[in-house]
A and B are shown apart, each in its own frame.
Chain A
Amino acid sequence: MEQKWVVFQLEENAYGIDVQSVRSIERVIPITRIPNAASYVKGVINLRGVVTPVIDLRTRLGFEAIEETEETRIIIATLEHGDAGFIVDCANEVVEAADVRIEPLTDQKQDEMTYLTAIAKGEDQLFSLLEPNRLFEEIIHA
């Protein structure tokens, strides 16, 4: 099957995550704070009866945190250890592999940011491919 990515935005940057690992995209719902967790752990939400952790992707990737807007979305991904969500500025589209060219990262970038896997370049767009499992590694303060 042809690969597809859900493409979303953080500030001016676009990122893509494999459609296969996306369970749903939610509007912002009340989040319960988790005390003593990593700074980027936003808390837990009630996702149809399942208590699901949510991280703030801005904080996780080193962007400045902002107030949520109408556009803010929580992308729920199915990961190795269960479902988890991450907050993005907006989720705009699904891009098919046929429309982009995949280019590897520079070695240095790869070492620094293990959650990035490659860059996808299309005619009028460019986005970085994210490996969501990496984002949730070591979520708790040791």
Chain B
Amino acid sequence: MDLNEYLGLFLDESIEHLQAINSSLLIFEQRLDDEAVIDQIFRSAHTLKGMSGTMGYDAIADLTHEMESALDLVRSKTQPATPELIDVLFVAAEQLETMVEDISQGGTGKLDVTTTVIRLKQFIDPDTESGKDTVKAAGTVMMNFECDVYSESVVRQSMASGYQAYVITVELSADVILKAARVYMVFDRLQNLGDVILSNPTSDELEQEQFETRFDVLFVTMKTAEDIQQEIKAVSEVAQVLIQPFEVSVEPAAAATLLEPVEETPAVNTSIETSTETQTPIAAKTIRVNLERIDRLMNLFEEFIIDRGRLERIAAEVGSSDLTETVERIKRGTNELQSLVLTLRMMPIEQVFNRFPRMVRSVSKDVGKNIKLHITGAETELDRTVIDEIGDPLVHLIRNAVDHGIESKADRISAGKPVEGNLSLRAYHSGNRVFIEIEDDGAGINQERVTKIALEKGLLTEEEATLLTPEEAAMLLFAPGFSTAETVTDLSGRGVGLDVVKSKIESLGGEVFVETKRGEGTIFRISLPLTLSIISAMLVKLDQETYAIPLTAIIETTSLKQDVILQAHREKVFDFRGQLVPLISLNQVYGLPHVEADAYSVVVVRSGEKLAGLMVSELIGQQEIVMKPLGSYLEGIRAISGATILGDGQVALIIDSNALLRK
């Protein structure tokens, strides 16, 4: 079996289960006796254990195994949950996340989890309590086999047509190795003799070996008890088989329904209710589709759009009203299809937001603050690629808010604020952009201090400093090499500044803004494109070649006469609104001959604070384009960020103006 094939699936599912564990842990902490939540964590841990075991990630399997054992004690009410247990579980969840993250980065997923395992083991009382418990449970189960209305009616009908119903208790030998296989063999033999109605544990649990050595089966057959006994005993590693007749009317649970046969409908209803209660509500009906397939769908669809364009032209030439009408219909249909195809890549940002409650909890605990996190708009949808990339910048900003934004308890009290700080995480759509806001009710950004540090680090001159607006001062936080933390904590001041956050967001086609009020708090606002794949661009010609420049980088387009182009230190510059801006010959950058002319079309672009004029042969116009990667073989071509397919089916390259301005 090629496990690589399953790796993607494993990662996706692990992340889902980790999220489930995280959110459940937070509820668990509030409500120590909430069985549904304990069950949820237990199940997720169990699934993780199974998957990681199969994939050979032993550390994850070990850790989840201990989590499961500990939770089982709580679940069976053998031991009450303690705050200590919750803490260990939080640590364990974090370690699991680290390991899964490592695997997704191509690592081995190995991490030293010994301490956590020991802490969990300390919780699990090593005496035989749990063992006794299972035996007792098995005993009681055998006496009153839990039987739902449906199975019971099957049993009754079978008995009416001459079948015998038995409860068969099979005990496997204590040193059984192939539990699931033995269960399978027992069931296989039973199927030949009659029908298995129910089993305890359920067949799924049996398959996954979630039982000690003993299981019960409710069975209907024409055979005698001796025949069954003989048949099952023949299976190896079966220690004991106990067969008792099952009588519907004697069963107390069954009696109730028998006595009131008229009210069968409500009875069915209750059983449905309970079953939905015990099952975790599984989210909306979804199927998992490989991203590659969706990309292929999009590619083919775009081809189709190009052909549609051709068809439109032909129809216009031919001038047949039937053809024109049909093409018009195709156009409407494809427009709708296009928006649908684009939404396929969209996912709720919940996936990213989910990990923050726990993070805020642990970070605020570490820095000794009391912080409440409010999340809104978790259902806001974003392109999958953005979802994958936006996590880290958000982590950074949130840690920053917890660490630097919100004041210490003492400071809050002396400022007359409630001790508990508030951190809000919001996501919402506006136009064709998505906004994410991180707002704290902390002290706000200290403009004087920020300016002073920027001056010390030589990020700006005295003169510039006096002209700064509060917003500009706040944006200094994002300047490379800036860190305001007076004491470097291990949280935010890890050498990675907010400038990394900014460049990451910009690489996603986004922007970041700061709004701050002294004493009242700070808002970091991130604006992101709805989808990465479609951008507005200016198409330009260099000689005969067509290129696209993303509109987000463009300030304006202009025409420059030869005589306004100045020469400064072997560089061409021009005066742009009182500022000398370098002029870049794209022909030269992209290996085309430079053509002297009286005037040049120039596209003025911006990257951060830097401006430049890009000389082009011709401006074609603005257009929505679909960004496509150049593929691994051409990755790293200088100043080209990708490609797009034009209306005529030809490929045009996309100019990376950020790279052009970076020297």
Residue positions of A touching B, CB distance < 8 A? 30, 32-37, 41, 43-46, 48-53, 81-84, 136, 139-140
Given contacts A36-B638, A44-B643, contact A49 B302 (CB under 8 A): yes
Given contacts A37-B637, A49-B302, contact A32 B632 (CB under 8 A): no
Given contacts A35-B590, A35-B591, A51-B643, contact A46 B650 (CB under 8 A): yes
Given contacts A36-B591, A49-B645, A51-B651, contact A136 B633 (CB under 8 A): yes
Given contacts A32-B653, A45-B651, contact A37 B300 (CB under 8 A): no
Report chain B residues within 8 Å CB of A50: 299, 628
Given contacts A53-B634, A81-B633, A140-B634, contact A32 B650 (CB under 8 A): yes
Give Cα A44–Cα B644 distance, bound, in whole angstroms.
11
> Do A82 and B632 touch across chains, with their CB atoms under 8 A apart?
yes
Given contacts A37-B637, A44-B651, A50-B299, contact A81 B645 (CB under 8 A): no
**Residue ID in chain B nearest A44 by CB atoms:** B651
Give Cα A140–Cα B635 distance, bound, in whole angstroms.
8
Report chain B residues within 8 Å CB of A41: 634
- 18 chain-A/chain-B pairs, Cβ below 8 angstroms: A30-B649, A33-B545, A35-B591, A36-B590, A36-B637, A45-B651, A46-B645, A49-B298, A49-B300, A49-B645, A51-B629, A51-B645, A81-B631, A83-B631, A84-B631, A84-B633, A139-B633, A140-B636
Give Cα A34–Cα B631 distance, bound, in whole angstroms.
13
Contact of B652 with A by CB under 8 A = yes
Report chain B residues within 8 Å CB of A52: 631
Q: Which of A34, A46, A136 has a CB less than 8 Å from the CB of B637?
A: A34
> Do B652 and A32 touch across chains, with their CB atoms under 8 A apart?
yes
**Residue ID in chain A nearest B545 by CB atoms:** A33
**Residue ID in chain B nearest A136 by CB atoms:** B633
Give Cα A103–Cα B643 distance, bound, in whole angstroms.
43
**Residue ID in chain A nearest B591 by CB atoms:** A35
Q: Which of B299, B589, B631 has a CB less than 8 Å from the CB of A49?
A: B299
Interface size on B, residues (CB 8 A): 30
> Do B591 and A53 touch across chains, with their CB atoms under 8 A apart?
no
SS of B interface (majority): mixed
Within 8 A of A (CB), among B264-310: 298-303
> Do A30 and B629 touch across chains, with their CB atoms under 8 A apart?
no
> Do B653 and A34 touch across chains, with their CB atoms under 8 A apart?
yes
Report chain A residues within 8 Å CB of B303: 48-49
Report chain A residues within 8 Å CB of B443: none
Known: A35-B589, A35-B653. 16 other contacts (CB 8 A): A32-B651, A34-B640, A34-B653, A35-B591, A44-B634, A44-B643, A44-B651, A48-B299, A48-B300, A49-B303, A50-B299, A51-B629, A81-B631, A81-B632, A83-B631, A84-B631
Give Cα A36–Cα B632 distance, bound, in whole angstroms.
16
Give Cα A129–Cα B640 distance, bound, in whole angstroms.
34
Within 8 A of A (CB), among B606-653: 628-638, 640, 643, 645, 649-653
Task: Give the most central of A30, A41, A46: most B CB within 10 Å.
Answer: A46
Number of contacts between A and B (CB, 8 Å)? 80
Report chain B residues within 8 Å CB of A32: 545, 643, 650-653
Give Cα A49–Cα B632 distance, bound, in whole angstroms.
16
Report chain A residues within 8 Å CB of B634: 34, 37, 41, 44, 53, 139-140
**Residue ID in chain A nearest B650 by CB atoms:** A30
Report chain B residues within 8 Å CB of A43: 651
Give Cα A119–Cα B302 distance, bound, in whole angstroms.
42
Report chain B residues within 8 Å CB of A49: 298-303, 645
Give Cα A50–Cα B636 distance, bound, in whole angstroms.
18
**Residue ID in chain A nearest B631 by CB atoms:** A82
**Residue ID in chain B nearest A33 by CB atoms:** B545
**Residue ID in chain B nearest A139 by CB atoms:** B633
Give Cα A44–Cα B298 distance, bound, in whole angstroms.
19
- The distance from the CB of B102 to the nearest CB of chain A, in whole angstroms, is 24
- The distance from the CB of B18 to the nearest CB of chain A, in whole angstroms, is 31
- The distance from the CB of B17 to the nearest CB of chain A, in whole angstroms, is 32
**Residue ID in chain B nearest A29 by CB atoms:** B649
Report chain A residues within 8 Å CB of B545: 32-33
**Residue ID in chain B nearest A30 by CB atoms:** B650
**Residue ID in chain B nearest A50 by CB atoms:** B299
**Residue ID in chain A nearest B305 by CB atoms:** A49
**Residue ID in chain A nearest B628 by CB atoms:** A51
Report chain B residues within 8 Å CB of A136: 633
Report chain B residues within 8 Å CB of A34: 630, 634, 637, 640, 653
1/0 per residue, CB under 8 A from A, across B563-604: the answer is 000000000000000000000000001111000000000000
Report chain B residues within 8 Å CB of A84: 631, 633
> Do A51 and B302 touch across chains, with their CB atoms under 8 A apart?
no
**Residue ID in chain A nearest B648 by CB atoms:** A30
- The distance from the CB of B549 to the nearest CB of chain A, in whole angstroms, is 15
> Do A53 and B633 touch across chains, with their CB atoms under 8 A apart?
yes
- The distance from the CB of A82 to the nearest CB of chain B, in whole angstroms, is 5
Give Cα A51–Cα B645 distance, bound, in whole angstroms.
8
- The distance from the CB of B592 to the nearest CB of chain A, in whole angstroms, is 8
Report chain B residues within 8 Å CB of A37: 634, 637
Report chain A residues within 8 Å CB of B649: 30, 46
Report chain A residues within 8 Å CB of B635: 140
Give Cα A113–Cα B635 distance, bound, in whole angstroms.
25
**Residue ID in chain A nearest B629 by CB atoms:** A51
1/0 per residue, CB under 8 A from A, across B401-429: the answer is 00000000000000000000000000000
Give Cα A52–Cα B651 distance, bound, in whole angstroms.
10
Give Cα A82–Cα B634 distance, bound, in whole angstroms.
11
- The distance from the CB of B632 to the nearest CB of chain A, in whole angstroms, is 4
**Residue ID in chain B nearest A79 by CB atoms:** B633
Give Cα A81–Cα B298 distance, bound, in whole angstroms.
20
Report chain A residues within 8 Å CB of B653: 32, 34-35
Report chain A residues within 8 Å CB of B651: 32, 43-46, 51
Give Cα A135–Cα B518 distance, bound, in whole angstroms.
62
